[in-house]
A and B are shown apart, each in its own frame.
Chain A
Amino acid sequence: MSEGGEKVIEFEWGTRRGVGGRKKDVQFYESFSYDGVEYSLYDSVFLYKEGEPHHFIGKIIKIWETSDKSKKVKILWYFRPSEILNFLEGSETLHNELFLAAGEGEGLVNVNPLEAIAGKCNVVCISKDSRNPYPSDEEVQLAEFVFYRFFDVGKCKILDNIDNGIAGIEVKNIFNNLDSQKLVGLVKPGLDKKEVNGNFIASNEAVALLSQKNSQPLIEKPDGKCFDTLVRENADSKILLGKNSTCSIGVKDASKPTNALHTITNYKTMPPAKVEENGSCKVSLDKQKSSNKLSHGSRASLEMGETTKMDDRRKNVSTDKKVVMSRVDLEIDDFYDVGAPVRKVNKGFAEEKASKKGKHGSFGMASSVKLNNKVQNRRFILYDDDDNDDTVKAVAPSSSKDKCKHQRDSCDVEELPSKKLKIDKKPTKLTSDKLCKESSTISPNVEHKLDFRPMEVTQRPDVDRSKWFKEIPWEEKMETAHEQGKLVLLQNIDPSLSASDVQNIIWTGFKESCTAKMIQKTAYSSPHSGQAVAIFRKKEAAESVVRKLDEGCFLMSNGRPLVGSIGVPSFPEKKPIFYGHHVVDQLRMMQMQREMKDAVSTSHCSQPNNIEYEMSIEWCLLQERESKSWRKLYQRQGEELSKLRAKLKSKV
């Protein structure tokens, strides 16, 4: 039935739900289509009221048509942070965060005419509640709003969790369901729901399969998602049944899930199995005549690099974080036993698996090592260790084949095409010959030329030098260093690195030792990159480092080229100017004395009944404006940076 009137807004009822009301003349519905958009129960929508500047956002919890043919919806409200400022108690809110109303009282729900709805709203629940299917990063990015907290309208308090439903609706309808993914994917209502869901199931299941052995966070997702898909498909069916049946879909579609796997798996530290692998690796390499020596053998974490011949596939999968080994488990049954080096000798294949800490005992070895003198390409796989959702990346092969030839007479690998199913960006995992790599670092060829291969950042030797000197305060050191020209400012460093990391990086890259100190982050610092101040031993060292950094490109993890310049430190002035503290001249003398004596009485919270309060509010306003402008600046800078970084094909 369509709406009449001058402006005909298309309307159509969807699925019926039942009848109710005192005279059984009220018809409830589950969905409807209004103005070309399909709405269902528990969707989040915008509502518009004449005269209000902002749309309200609410969740439809009931839809019905009364006996006199008027259409109503019951809305459960979301609060914007600005609406509940007084109750936030200073907790930080995201710029697009909402709070779902909970509890009981006025302001929880309202009945509105259906025509008040002004559009669908993409609200994603990012609550870490186990009952909530946690959305992917992409979904969170695409979401117009997010929520994970609730506002109890009765108690006027922020809640982080709710136990049971709100306003009579169950918890599962409060959290994300698979339908919200439909929104994200911009699926048209006409599409076969099942099909859409099917894809999701596949990826979810694969994740679920993986997650069964993997870390905690994953488990929530697949469970939740599967759960909700099935609820959707048949309202009455139980989850468990459905999950089992979809399992098979997942395994079949192995290709898809692997992508999802790539994006979802987390990596922890190297499984102990790796250490074993190194051991077995060593064993297998004994038979090669290699002049490799372990130069940095002590590091427990292994860096596996290997030469393989990969003609067409430079699989460089990007990751954002630091690198460690990790493997992606593509298929559960496809384990290749690493422990048998003998097997490797004759077959080589590149594959990758993700393994969790210790959970998987076996991992695939990428290739065997042959005793040729011909080195084709070299590739290192650098694995991401951090809490991110990306996977392994392979580094571009070294181009200086000749150099490699000398260095690795015995590290030659014959690579067989991967046995894995095709995935778009399949990193190749190469097992190493760690010894091979090590040898390269001590090969005489490398000394004076720039080594273009990816290097693991190693601990700088003689770290404890001159411990017996009393440490001069850093500021003095900086001043003297600046005068002598030994001070270098390093920029574009990953903010989470620490001073010793920076020192090690400098050591690995330039074979120069320095003392570094990270610039501490303040409210105004860029969240995208950090800076450090490094003091070198000699002026020439500092200058050469700066020059090398300028001319060449020294790439750190995450596609960050290190930027260096001769540092000009800024020292606090003798009489710094500070804006904002006013003293009436005549009272100045009196006040100063009082301040010096008694910090407590002069440190206070301003009460709203005096002029000081008004002025302080003006300052607060200025501060807020400043933070907002910083935020915007950094947002823009971040976008510019990520655009460029995306262009980098190979990342360390």
Chain B
Amino acid sequence: MGSSEEEYIAFEEKVSRTVYFDNLSPQVTESVIRTALDQFATVKNVKFIPNYIGPSNLPKCALVEFDSTKKAKEIISMVMGYPFMMSGSPRPVRARHAVMEMFDDRPVKPNRKLMVRWLEPSDPDFQVAKEIKKLTRKHAAEIQFMHKLQLAEEEKLSRQQEDTLKLHYKKFKLIDGIMADKTAHRLARKYNLRVTDE
């Protein structure tokens, strides 16, 4: 028991030094994260959270372990304060403190007893338990739906921004174009205006 307690405490400590990132693009690999965050703090370990049951298009999440809790906190406050991009813009990544449940290799909580029991069909609790089971399934379905909605929203925003971007780019190109081939200057001379070169 003693050693598992120590294990547990050591693990908790590790959790406090770890930062959870999500909204990561699929192009982000471990090395990208390392290089990106090495500017701010020493990265000890990077682990991606696999997505086994969610919808397959969810952005990736990763757990990054730093060498001290203080650094972890600083990183979090920085990423939350300023939009931080990794491997592409403008969607920023999001950072949070890690919690125990984010790790799948977490040790058993020491000194805890678990009890289980089969309920008999005649037990009034049986019905209640059945209700709870149904509710759990319902909740799971709700969560799936929510994911779908979320992805739809993201797609919408993304398209909107793409369109705006294209538009802006076209405008800039246009302006650049007329400056470059002196159309602007000719017109300016005709109308007696001044073209200010920037």
A-to-B contact residues, CB < 8 Å: 89-92, 268-270, 300-301, 303, 322-325, 380, 382-383, 385-386, 395-396, 399-400, 450-457, 474-475, 478, 489, 491-492, 495-501, 504-505, 508-509, 517-526, 529-531, 533, 552-557, 559-561, 563, 567, 569-573, 576-586, 595, 599-600, 602-606, 611-613, 615-620, 622-623, 625-626, 629-630, 633, 637, 640-641, 644-645, 647-650, 652
Contacts and interface: CB of A to CB of B under 8 A. Distances in A.
A453 B116 CA distance: 9
B84 to A, nearest CB: 5
Contacts of A602: 85-88
Contacts of B25: 578, 580-581
B3 interface: no
A521 B124 CA distance: 33
A578 B51 CA distance: 15
B15 to A, nearest CB: 12
B157 interface: yes
B156 to A, nearest CB: 9
Which applies to chain B's interface (DSSP): helix, strand, loop or mixed? mixed
A520 B96 contact: no
A433 B81 CA distance: 60
Contacts of B137: 491, 563
Contact of A572 (B51, B80, B82, B146): B51
Contact of B82 (A521, A581, A606, A641): A606
A445 B133 CA distance: 28
Given A451-B118, A552-B118, A623-B92, 4 more contacts: A322-B112, A580-B91, A602-B85, A649-B124
Nearest to A600: B35
Residue from A380, A452, A500, A615 with most neighbouring chain B CB atoms (10 Å): A615
25 contacts: A90-B81, A269-B1, A270-B111, A301-B111, A303-B113, A323-B113, A396-B123, A450-B118, A452-B119, A491-B137, A499-B105, A523-B22, A524-B150, A553-B133, A559-B129, A559-B132, A563-B133, A581-B89, A584-B165, A595-B88, A602-B88, A605-B84, A606-B89, A616-B83, A616-B89
Given A552-B118, A599-B35, A269 B111 contact: yes
Contacts of B51: 570, 572
A556 B53 contact: no
Interface in B151-179: 151, 153-155, 157-158, 161-162, 164-166, 168-169
B195 interface: no
A574 B136 CA distance: 31
Given A457-B113, A498-B106, A519-B104, A524 B147 contact: yes
Contacts of B166: 584-585
A88 B147 CA distance: 30
A270 B113 CA distance: 10
Nearest to B165: A582
Contacts of B112: 322, 324, 385-386
Nearest to B170: A584
A323 B117 CA distance: 13
Interface string B130-141: 111101110110
A613 B84 CA distance: 10
A525 B103 CA distance: 13
A212 to B, nearest CB: 23
Contacts of B100: 496
B115 A603 contact: no
Interface in B35-49: 35-36, 39, 49
A501 B110 CA distance: 11
Given A501-B108, A622-B154, A322 B147 contact: no
A582 B116 contact: no
